[in-house]
A and B are shown apart, each in its own frame.
Chain A
């Protein structure tokens, strides 16, 4: 079975641009979470979606938004990119509904902002 898949794997943007990252969860998983990992640090929680509704939000500015589609895939959008948005963006899925449950991560999308 396919794991969590993310696209694109690498991308380069310039300051002020907008970016959309995509994630497909493991088949049967209805929950998707997004994390940002800056070089040298642990991942930081951005959003969690379950059944197309936002169920959790981390301490990120409104430039960050996400949505989940009826097939449970998800998109993360970041507007007005800053140099500090350069990071590895990780998507995770789980089947659990009442709490986080066991998370399984994709390989990530590495964003570089110039």
Chain B
């Protein structure tokens, strides 16, 4: 199956700092999403971004499908940004509806 690698695995930030999370994938994809999982387990949609660049407030994401990676940028981080960030992809030709998740990046934002 497709491999999804996220880096770094852990990230500790001071409030107000900027950061970049990376997602590498091993095959062509027709779907890529970024999620934030809060401490209660809910997966919150951040971006649906199989290619291109999107921005939503302090967050932005870029996917370069031809080079098989995606980046999530967090600017002016806040304590509410703490949690686990997941990248998930669907490979072309895979079982319909099968999103392959990475292992996640655990982010802790300190006051």
Interface residues in chain A, defined as those with a beta carbon under 8 Å from any beta carbon in chain B: 31, 33, 35, 37, 41-45, 47-48, 50, 55-58, 88, 90, 92, 99-108, 110
Contacts and interface: CB of A to CB of B under 8 A. Distances in A.
B27 to A, nearest CB: 15
Contacts of B102: 42
Interface of B: 30-31, 33, 35, 40-43, 45, 48, 86, 88, 90, 95-104
25 contacts: A31-B97, A35-B99, A41-B103, A42-B86, A42-B104, A43-B101, A44-B101, A45-B100, A48-B95, A50-B97, A55-B95, A55-B96, A56-B96, A90-B43, A100-B31, A100-B99, A101-B48, A102-B33, A103-B33, A104-B45, A105-B35, A105-B43, A106-B42, A107-B40, A107-B41
Contacts of B97: 31, 33, 45, 47-48, 50, 55-56, 100
Nearest to B104: A42
A99 B30 contact: yes
Contact of B96 (A43, A99, A107): A99
Given A42-B86, A100-B90, A103-B33, A108 B41 contact: yes
